[in-house]
Structure 1
Amino acid sequence: MSNPIDYDTVVSAVVDILEEAETVLPKDVVVALEKAASQESSPVAKEQLEAILKNIGIAAKKKVPMCQDTGILIFYVELGRDARMDFRLEDAILEGVKKATRSIPLRPNAVDPLTRSNSGNNTGNGIPDIKYELVDGSSIKITAAPKGAGSENMSAIKMLNPTEKDSIRNFVLETVLNAGGKPCPPVVVGVGIGGSFDKAARLAKSALLEKVDEMSEEETVLLDDINSLGIGPMGLGGKTTALAVHIKKAHCHTASLPVAVNIQCWANRHASVVLGGDE
C-alpha cells in the first residue's frame, strides 16, 4: 500500500523547490561556469563570468533570487500510477506558486497576452505551465523550472522539409547568432528534432533539464560550433557562448521535419522533489 499524499504537503513542497530553483543554481551549472572562467583569455569575458559567479554565491547565501526576472513558472510532474491523493494536484501546485510569490518573493510575471493585465501572483489562464507524465510507482516527482523572458524570446522553431536534415546545424547556429547577448550568455541550448510543431518545442525545452556536463559526441560538436561564434559572456566576446547543448528527438510524420531551439540563459534554474511512495 502506498502512502497517501496530502494537499498541504504538495503546497509546501512547491514553495520549497521554487525557493531552491530561484536561489541556488544546480552544482553542474556552477562547475561549468567556474571552468569557463578559468579558461577565458579575454579579461572582459573573465570579468563577466566572475561577476555571475559572485552573484550566484550571494543569492545562495542570502536566499534571494539570483535574477530579477524570476521567470514564468514551468513544472514537470512525473505522476505515479499508484499515487494516492484526494485533491486536484493542479490546485495544490497553483496554491504553492501563489505562496512562493509572496514569501520568496517572486516578481509577478504572468499577464494576459493582449491586455497585459497582471494577475499579481504568477498564475493565470494556462499558467503555471504544468506538464504531466504517467510513470510506474506510487510517488510523485515535481520539477520546477523557472524560465526568464530574455532567453525565451530568443528561441525559435522551423518546419523543415525531410530533405533538409543537413540544415539543422545552420538553423541552430543562426538562432544563437541572432540572439547575440540578449539571452544573457553563456547559454544552454536545447534542441528538439521531430515530433510535431508543438512536440519539437516541448522536446527542446525539456532538454534544458539535462546535466550540462553530460553530452553526446553530436552535442559536443554542436557546442564547439556555437562557441566558435565568439559571442561570449553577456555578448561581449569570448570563448564561452554556451555551456552545453542537449538534443532530444522523436519520430515525426514522413512529410515533415520540425526543429525547435530553446535557449536558456546562464541561470539554468531547476529543482525537484519526490513525494509519496510505498509504506
Structure 2
Amino acid sequence: MKHIIERAQIYQALKAGIKKTGVVLPGDVKRALHQAIEKETGPAGKVLRFIAENLESAERENMPMCQDTGMVVAFVEMGDKVEIKDAFIDDIIHDAIADAYEEGYFRKSVVEDPLNGRKNTGNNLPAVIHHELKKGSDLKISLMLKGFGSENCSRLAMFKPTAGRDEVIESIAKIVVEAGGSPCPPTILGIGIGGTMDYAAKLSKKALIRELDDSHPDPYYAQLEDDILKRVNELGIGGGGLGGDITTLAVKVEKFPTHIAGLPVAVTVNCWADRKTIVELKGKDN
C-alpha cells in the first residue's frame, strides 16, 4: 500500500523552514555560541558578542543573519511506500527554495556555469540534492544554507591506510590553520571518514545537520570528535581570527566503510551560521 504525501504539504513546510533558517539560528547552535561567549577569554570575545547582537537584530527585523544566504544542500530520505501525486520531489524542493529566497529577500548566489560566464541564475537554483531510499512511509528532508566563505576553506585528504588517528587529527588542524579567519570563525566542522572520495565529502556535509550537543553513537568517534575539537581550539585562532580560546564550536564526524587501500577524510568547514532545517512528514494511507 502506498502512503500519500501532498505536494502542497511538502512545499509549505520547506518554504517556511528555509525562510526561518536564514533568519533564526537553530537552538543548538545558539547554545554553543553563548557557551563560547562565557568561555572566551581572548580578544575575540568582543567578536562573539557582536555575532550574538547581530542574531538578535536579524530575528527582530526578520532579516537574513548574513549577507551570504548560501547555496542550498538537501538530503532527501524517502520511504519506499511514499507516493507524491502529480509531482517530482526535486521540483517541489526547487519551487520552495526559489519562493523562500524571493519572499525572504535572501541574496541569490548561484551561477549557471562554474567557469564559462558565471551568469547568476536569479533564483538561487539549482540546489545540491542527495537522495536516499529507505523502508517505510516517511519523508525526511534535511536542508542547509551553505555559505561559501567557509565552503572555500573545505578540504579533502586521501590518506594511505597506514595513517593513524593522530595523523588525521593533525591534518584537520592544518586545514583550520590555513583557513585562519577566512571562514568567519568560530566554525563548525563536518568530517566525513571513509567511503570513496566523493562519498566522504557527502558525509562531511551530512555531519553538519546533526545537533551540536549530541554525542556520536560510537564511543570511539565520540572521543575523536572531542579530541579534534580540543586540538583545533588549542590553535588560538579565535572568533574572527583575532585570537582566542574558541576557534570551533563543534566537530561532527560521520563514517562509512572504505577500501583496504585507502582512507578518505573530507572536512567541510562551516562558519558559526550553521543554518539547517529538517522537515519530516508521514504519508497517509491511500
**CA–CA distance in structure 2, aligned partners of residues 53 and 74 of structure 1:** 25
Q: Secondary structure of the residue that 1:164 maps to in structure 2?
A: coil
**CA–CA distance in structure 1, aligned partners of residues 257 and 89 of structure 2:** 31
Structure 1 residues 48-59: aligned runs within 5 Å:
48-59=47-58
Deviations 1:30-66 (A, max 9, x none): 1111111011122x31111111111111212222111
For the 8 Å contact 2:3–2:81, the answer to whether it is kept is no
**CA–CA distance in structure 2, aligned partners of residues 78 and 190 of structure 1:** 20
**CA–CA distance in structure 2, aligned partners of residues 162 and 217 of structure 1:** 20
In structure 1, what is the equivalent of residue 133 of structure 2?
134
Deviations 1:174-230 (A, max 9, x none): 001100010001111111111101011111111111111224222111101100000
In structure 2, what is the equivalent of residue 33 of structure 1?
33
Structure 1 residues 107-122: aligned runs within 5 Å:
107-111=107-111, 112-114=113-115, 115-122=117-124
In structure 2, what is the equivalent of residue 221 of structure 1?
227
- Of Structure 1 and Structure 2, the greater strand share is in 2
Q: Does 1:268 align with 2:274?
A: yes
Task: Specify every segment of 5 or more residues in structure 2 that has no aligned partner in the other structure, as ranges.
Answer: 216-221
TM-score of the superposition, structure 1-length normalised? 0.94
In structure 2, what is the equivalent of residue 256 of structure 1?
262
Work out the number of aligned pairs and report it: 275
Residue from 227, 234, 244 that aligns with 2:240: 234
Give the letter for the 2:38 counterpart: S
**CA–CA distance in structure 2, aligned partners of residues 257 and 276 of structure 1:** 37
**CA–CA distance in structure 2, aligned partners of residues 77 and 105 of structure 1:** 25
Q: Secondary structure of the residue that 2:133 maps to in structure 1?
A: strand
In structure 2, what is the equivalent of residue 150 of structure 1?
149
In structure 2, what is the equivalent of residue 177 of structure 1?
177
For the 8 Å contact 2:19–2:101, the answer to whether it is kept is no
Task: Specify every segment of 5 or more residues in structure 1 that has no aligned partner in the other structure, as ranges.
Answer: none
CA shift for structure 1 position 2 = 6.1
TM-score of the superposition, structure 2-length normalised? 0.92
For the 8 Å contact 1:139–1:275, the answer to whether it is kept is yes
In structure 1, what is the equivalent of residue 219 of structure 2?
none
**CA–CA distance in structure 2, aligned partners of residues 218 and 160 of structure 1:** 17
**CA–CA distance in structure 1, aligned partners of residues 214 and 73 of structure 2:** 23
Q: Secondary structure of the residue that 1:212 maps to in structure 2?
A: coil
**CA–CA distance in structure 2, aligned partners of residues 3 and 59 of structure 1:** 39
**CA–CA distance in structure 2, aligned partners of residues 132 and 168 of structure 1:** 29
For the 8 Å contact 2:109–2:124, the answer to whether it is kept is yes
**CA–CA distance in structure 1, aligned partners of residues 122 and 195 of structure 2:** 35
For the 8 Å contact 1:137–1:277, the answer to whether it is kept is no
In structure 1, what is the equivalent of residue 159 of structure 2?
160
CA shift for structure 1 position 97 = 1.3
For the 8 Å contact 1:17–1:143, the answer to whether it is kept is no
Runs of 4+ in 1 over 4 A off after TM superposition: none
